[in-house]
Chains A and B, each alone.
Chain A
Amino acid sequence: MSGKASSSQASIGGLGSGSVSHVFIQYPPLRCNIPGSRGFYYDDGNKLLLSPTSNQVFSWKTAPFSPNAAPNIDSITEGPICSIRFSLDEKLIAVQRSNTSIQFFHRETGETFTHRCKSESESILGFFWTDCPSCDIVVVKTSGLDLYAYDHALKSLALVETKKMTVSWYVYTHESRLVLLASGMQCKTFHGFQLSSVGIIRLPKFEMVMAKPEANSKPVLASEDVYIVTVYGRIYCLQVDRVAMVLHSYRFYRDAIIQQGSLPIYSHKVAVNSRAPISAPLPVLFRGFPRSDSFTSRPGTKESESLEASDSNDNEAIIYGDGWTFLVPDLICDIANKRLWKIHLDLEAISASSSEVPSVLEFLQRRKLEANKAKQLCLAITRTMILERRPINMVAKAMDVLVTSYALSLKTGSYFKGIKTERTPSSVPNVSGPGQGEDVNTGRTDGLGKSVQQESASRVNSVSVGRSSNYSSETEDSSSFEPLKISSNDAQFDSGKVDTGARSSATGNPLNASVSEQQESQLTSPAISPDEMYRFVFAPAEEEMIGEPSYLVSIILEFFRSANLEKVKVNPNLYVLTVQLLARSEQYAELGLFVINKIIEPSKEVALQLLESGRQNFQIRKLGSDMLRQVSLHQDYVLLLVQDGYYLEALRYARKHKVTTIRPSLFLEAAMTSNDSQHLAAVLRFFSDFIPGFHSTSDFSTYYHILNEMNSSSVVA
């Protein structure tokens, strides 16, 4: 798995148990105690927690998470419920009634219809809604997949395509858009399809590894032992081999499935270090884990969960219970107590606990959910690192991380998307930062667009199983097979769901109303632009660092190096700052080299600063005036020449570059001060020749008069 990820992981893992925990669940939880509830269902496509009663469905939005969220209530007819899912536009509720029928309810009109299996020989294993362009709902049957499109007019499903194969059981996550179909005696032969908004990809058939306990017995792989995991946009599959006590991981590519390695499982349980009275074992065996090689060997530290002080009070004393079910990606449903907890990753704690600053930054730069917070943390960390005068090579690494991340976000468009979002909420990609339980209402596009938002609590926490049999650690963007990225456009590759989210809002989803209520800036990426680097890191650092600016220059230089490697443009103000710093420490030789070798790129700002700093040093001033000319700031250059008394050169230059905006009197005055009547005459002549009607201006008469006086006085002398 990603080497980068594991490095940040390592830094987090290396804290020792005494350190602050990195994950917490926030009190209060969402209480979803409904009388007559028949259990809970989690609709991962829409991120809804569903609790049906005999004739109603209560649904809570879990993203963004709010403990005060009020349920939506929809009426359904009575009957058995095998599973229940809302359509991605949330107009329809589909309830699987039996292994042969699925009933649909239209939420607005209340209309219903029922879809049944045609043949008696097959039964429905389950279904899910999809944003695949050709179909809306996929029904998984023992005989294969049926892809249906919902026909609004006819209020029925139209069969689009059938994929025939025998299926014992299946796993699907909306996040990965991937359905894995198990078949064979041991259920270890898999077919896979990814049904995403760009189309359907059929994965090659593959087999999972199963150890044989004895010669004759053939263990059967259960659906509970297979998890689809999305890590930073890559799709993996984790498989528990109960016999060998090994966890296998597979990485999915468009045309291949590659086994990534296996890890031994030492223990089924990992203790939860909680301040709550009960320190209950947390079954972790099936919970999967993000990627770290170290998780099993270091349980109890990284896996630890603790509650913030405020959490452990009164009736919440019993926090952990057997009824805990972990939902994708960061929710815990406490079935026994009918509560829903949100797991948070404590970014501050994580960043405060590690001195490996570059790794921490790397980790923070991957945050998508609490992007703004991560960004602020990154800025603060970087600033502090500079103020503390950490070794230059470490700061250099940190710069590399930040710049690389920014360059990537530019390439994928997520940086600008974040910015754009702030301006045009209508196309909001629904990536909110439900940091500390603040209620950021992102409207209902969630249905389609939401999986961008996977938060990563579970990444460290390594918990998420639940009925959806889906594990998701933090996700970066949409899940897609790596090669897919090539074929799709940038935005798509970056965050396919964002794209679809925007599309769904464009279709005028009536529920998509409350978008404008977003309060926090909707950053999709914690990437820091060079502009922000200047404003929030270098400029404040410069203000706070008194004396020897040499260290700061070194740091800035490292930033230039990183930026240059990534072809990122540097804010001209940073160049200005560099000039100031070098001039202040009188490192004129270096400053000269910086300018000549274009380490400091020419711009008007820089040129003016060079002129300013050049008051003490002639050579630097010269560089400034050369730069003015170089960047074709003709007017400024001419003015400068006149100011310095080179009015004849200025005139020649002005004529060549057609600078007409400077008053003739400036030149005339300069010529007059030089006390050279010939020059004054020449300048007068110049303007008379080239400016029509100059003879009649007051300038002309004034200086003509002066010229005459000069001549007469010199004759007298």
Chain B
Amino acid sequence: MLEYSFSKPNSSRSPSLVTEDLRSFISKIYTVYSTNSASFMGLSSIGTASDGMQLCIFDLRRGQHEGQELDKILYFFPADLPFSTQLSVIGLSEGLITFTRIFSPEAACEVIEAERHSHVFYEAEPDIWMVMIVEKSKDSEAIWRIDALREVLKEIHSLFVMFHGSIRALLEREPGGGLTRAHLYPFIMDYLRACQKRSPLDKCCCGNAEVAVSDGLIWIYFLVGKKLQLPSFRDCLMERRSVQMLTVGREAAIEVQTLVRILESSAGNLPCFSLILFQDLLVSTTLSPEDTINLYKYAVLRLTPLALSSGAKSWSYLRKGNSSSHVSIGSTLLSTGSVSEQFYGSHDASPAGDNRYHVTRPLQHDKWFKGKDGFLITDIWGGDIGSLNVTTPTVWLHQTEERMYLCAYQYKSLTIILLIPLSSILNGDQGVSILKQQLLENASLKILKVEEKLSKGWGGENAYHVSGYRYLLVDGNRDISRASPPTKVTTLSKESLLALNRLREEVDAEKSRAKWDNPGREKDLEVCIRAKNNAWAVARITGGKELYMVLEKANETLLYASDAVEKFSNRYCSGTFSLD
């Protein structure tokens, strides 16, 4: 009845024995839950009250005494669920984590597959867990890959850390937890808003509101249509936590790198980092992979020309073509709809700043503008956009564990992000504006030149389309991916996509098994499956690089499909995936 999957326990015990133990053990637990406290499970209510998705963050170190259980809840979506229900969900998760830790102290459970729900676990920070519960709807669209869901959790957390620092640090700063909640709620809501499907009504401001009450604060969010866009099988040809790069010729690459040098030198002797994007593609970074992914994501969400111009159509490049994919079609209006009317006016006008905590909401929509000098400005961090007197945004870097000023400059399709340590600029915003001036003086010409070079060499949105192939190429070593353009992926039939989704799940499982069997070793893998519609779904993994492919016109034989992959590998991956 209940499936489970968890990380492999220490190898001292034979796996099969443990499995047997667990199976009986868990079924017992489940029996207890299901018989004695059906409402405690809260599972029954999930489907109706929310749109099939619940997301919670809790701290195992908190609320360990009776009566203080609420303390452990740091975030819950949907927030309007009764606390008892929230607690029951968290309680189950906590129970499973505690239990599975007996067998695998290092990595507790990753996922629980129940009959109607999947529980996806992610330990974001030690003892701070994020759990996502998604409903297995009868709807044929509601098919996903667990790892893709976990990537969402990872993304939320790492973006959060980039802007606000670690959750643990926030908790330590204010042990009451109010500060943490005050940060988490708006942040994740903004994130989910970015995830949700846009409806044409949205612009008319007649959406629904999400109201969250925590620590006496009232948060109101508009989740239009309640259609959260979670990664579904239709997204199986993309990799969330990775960066898409622009392929450039040597000459352009040299120009770009000289520009990087100029950027850094214009900051004087300050240690600084830079990120350069062309359209929504990364051109250069001097950041660590982790920080690059986060900043790249943020840039694509909010800073690139596309993100700025289309404000509302937030996911831009990445999301195109996914319009048909969303988790819920329930679209139930919130019961608090009337409340939303009431608070509507105060929504954007009075952000969190008016409340007890000063909270910045970096993921807010339509908050970035391009200034006259080409620098992007926002009042998210405070200040008045009208008077151009705004506080410079800051981010926290994983690599240096330091807070940095974020300066974004845009020229045509080129977006340049410069990060300078807070500690190295003494007079704050004034120092930053001096730096910006220097940057303009030193680099303007070069920026012009680079933009021109890149524009000339760019093949457009379909530049990386390879006709006949629908592919996803992931370089796990460098967190880079490249895929067929979304518009091309949509031409695939549902069967093909489902087949590939299934294949990827297999590969995910295989990878995580290999990771535990043989840490630090990469496994070579090749899987080909044939879908109902006679399409081939192929996965090849070698040396940390992954290639996924759907071949709908690959004729009859496996040989043909294999040939096609070989050709692709030789032509576009310098033979990485070529077998003998």
Residues of A within 8 A of B (CB): 392, 396, 550, 553-554, 557-558, 560-561, 564-565, 587-590, 592-594, 596-599, 618-619, 622, 625-626, 629-630, 645-646, 649, 652, 655-656
CA distance A554 to B289 in the complex (A): 22
B2 in the interface (beta carbon within 8 A): no
Residues of B within 8 A of A (CB): 248-251, 253-258, 260-262, 264-265, 284-289, 292, 477-478, 521-522, 524, 542-544, 574-576, 579-580
Closest to B247 in A: A597
A554 engages B477 (CB within 8 Å):
no
A590 engages B248 (CB within 8 Å):
no
Closest to A548 in B: B269
Given A589-B292, A599-B250, do A594 and B575 touch, yes or no (CB 8 Å)? Answer: no
Q: A622-B544, A649-B542 are in contact. List 14 more A-B contacts (CB 8 A).
A: A392-B265, A396-B258, A557-B261, A564-B254, A588-B288, A589-B286, A593-B257, A596-B478, A597-B256, A598-B253, A629-B575, A652-B579, A652-B580, A656-B580
CA distance A630 to B251 in the complex (A): 20
Most central of B248, B261, B574 by chain A CB within 10 Å: B261
CA distance A629 to B284 in the complex (A): 25
| Residues of B close to A560: CB separation below 8 A | 254
CA distance A590 to B286 in the complex (A): 6
Complex partner residue of B477 from A392, A590, A599, A622, CB under 8 angstroms: A622
Complex partner residue of B258 from A554, A630, A655, CB under 8 angstroms: A554
CA distance A590 to B264 in the complex (A): 13
| Residues of A close to B265: CB separation below 8 A | 392, 554
CA distance A396 to B288 in the complex (A): 28
A626 engages B288 (CB within 8 Å):
no
A599 engages B253 (CB within 8 Å):
yes
Closest to A594 in B: B257
| Residues of B close to A646: CB separation below 8 A | 521-522
| Residues of B close to A597: CB separation below 8 A | 248-250, 253, 256
| Residues of B close to A396: CB separation below 8 A | 258
Given A587-B286, A619-B478, do A564 and B258 touch, yes or no (CB 8 Å)? Answer: no
| 26 sample A-B contacts, Cβ–Cβ < 8 Å, listed by A number | A392-B261, A396-B258, A553-B261, A554-B258, A557-B254, A557-B258, A561-B255, A588-B288, A589-B286, A589-B287, A589-B292, A590-B284, A590-B286, A592-B478, A593-B253, A593-B285, A594-B257, A599-B257, A618-B477, A619-B289, A622-B477, A622-B543, A622-B544, A625-B543, A626-B543, A656-B580
CA distance A619 to B522 in the complex (A): 13
Smallest distance from the beta carbon of B271 to chain A beta carbons, Å?
A: 10
Smallest distance from the beta carbon of B118 to chain A beta carbons, Å?
A: 32
Complex partner residue of A593 from B261, B284, B477, B544, CB under 8 angstroms: B284
| Residues of B close to A656: CB separation below 8 A | 580
Complex partner residue of A590 from B251, B260, B478, B542, CB under 8 angstroms: B260
B257 engages A619 (CB within 8 Å):
no
| Residues of B close to A554: CB separation below 8 A | 258, 261, 265
CA distance A582 to B116 in the complex (A): 52
Smallest distance from the beta carbon of B248 to chain A beta carbons, Å?
A: 6
CA distance A557 to B251 in the complex (A): 11
Closest to A649 in B: B524
| Residues of B close to A619: CB separation below 8 A | 289, 477-478
Closest to A560 in B: B254
Question: Main SS of the interface on chain A?
Answer: helix
| Residues of A close to B255: CB separation below 8 A | 561
| Residues of B close to A590: CB separation below 8 A | 257, 260, 284, 286
CA distance A598 to B544 in the complex (A): 21
Given A619-B478, A622-B543, A649-B524, do A564 and B286 touch, yes or no (CB 8 Å)? Answer: no
| Residues of B close to A630: CB separation below 8 A | 574
Given A589-B292, A622-B543, do A598 and B286 touch, yes or no (CB 8 Å)? Answer: no
| Residues of A close to B292: CB separation below 8 A | 589
| Residues of A close to B253: CB separation below 8 A | 593-594, 597-599
| Residues of B close to A625: CB separation below 8 A | 543
| Residues of A close to B262: CB separation below 8 A | 392
| Residues of A close to B248: CB separation below 8 A | 597
Closest to A554 in B: B261
A558 engages B580 (CB within 8 Å):
no
Smallest distance from the beta carbon of B545 to chain A beta carbons, Å?
A: 9
Closest to B248 in A: A597
Smallest distance from the beta carbon of B507 to chain A beta carbons, Å?
A: 18
CA distance A341 to B58 in the complex (A): 94
A557 engages B257 (CB within 8 Å):
yes
Closest to B575 in A: A629
| Residues of A close to B258: CB separation below 8 A | 396, 554, 557-558, 561
A589 engages B289 (CB within 8 Å):
yes
CA distance A655 to B255 in the complex (A): 41
| Residues of B close to A561: CB separation below 8 A | 254-255, 258
| Residues of B close to A598: CB separation below 8 A | 250, 253
CA distance A664 to B284 in the complex (A): 43
Closest to A645 in B: B521
| Residues of A close to B544: CB separation below 8 A | 622
A564 engages B478 (CB within 8 Å):
no
Closest to B273 in A: A589
Complex partner residue of A655 from B250, B256, B521, B580, CB under 8 angstroms: B580
CA distance A557 to B264 in the complex (A): 14
Given A392-B265, A557-B261, do A599 and B289 touch, yes or no (CB 8 Å)? Answer: no
| Residues of B close to A622: CB separation below 8 A | 477, 543-544
Closest to A644 in B: B521
Smallest distance from the beta carbon of B282 to chain A beta carbons, Å?
A: 10
Closest to B576 in A: A626
A550 engages B264 (CB within 8 Å):
yes
| Residues of B close to A592: CB separation below 8 A | 478
| Residues of A close to B289: CB separation below 8 A | 589, 619
CA distance A656 to B292 in the complex (A): 37
Closest to A563 in B: B254
| Residues of B close to A588: CB separation below 8 A | 288
CA distance A557 to B261 in the complex (A): 9
CA distance A587 to B543 in the complex (A): 23
Closest to A593 in B: B284
Closest to B284 in A: A593
CA distance A592 to B579 in the complex (A): 25
| Residues of A close to B543: CB separation below 8 A | 622, 625-626
Smallest distance from the beta carbon of A418 to chain B beta carbons, Å?
A: 29
CA distance A281 to B522 in the complex (A): 84
Smallest distance from the beta carbon of B520 to chain A beta carbons, Å?
A: 9
Closest to B275 in A: A589
Smallest distance from the beta carbon of A657 to chain B beta carbons, Å?
A: 9
CA distance A513 to B543 in the complex (A): 66
CA distance A565 to B265 in the complex (A): 24
CA distance A625 to B580 in the complex (A): 18
| Residues of B close to A564: CB separation below 8 A | 250-251, 254
CA distance A558 to B257 in the complex (A): 10
CA distance A622 to B522 in the complex (A): 12
Smallest distance from the beta carbon of B171 to chain A beta carbons, Å?
A: 32
CA distance A561 to B252 in the complex (A): 9
| Residues of B close to A557: CB separation below 8 A | 254, 257-258, 261
Smallest distance from the beta carbon of B518 to chain A beta carbons, Å?
A: 10
Closest to B265 in A: A392
Smallest distance from the beta carbon of B294 to chain A beta carbons, Å?
A: 14
CA distance A652 to B580 in the complex (A): 7
| Residues of B close to A652: CB separation below 8 A | 579-580
CA distance A596 to B544 in the complex (A): 16
| Residues of B close to A649: CB separation below 8 A | 524, 542
| Residues of B close to A645: CB separation below 8 A | 521
Smallest distance from the beta carbon of B264 to chain A beta carbons, Å?
A: 7
Most central of A550, A589, A626, A652 by chain B CB within 10 Å: A589
B254 engages A599 (CB within 8 Å):
yes
Smallest distance from the beta carbon of A437 to chain B beta carbons, Å?
A: 45
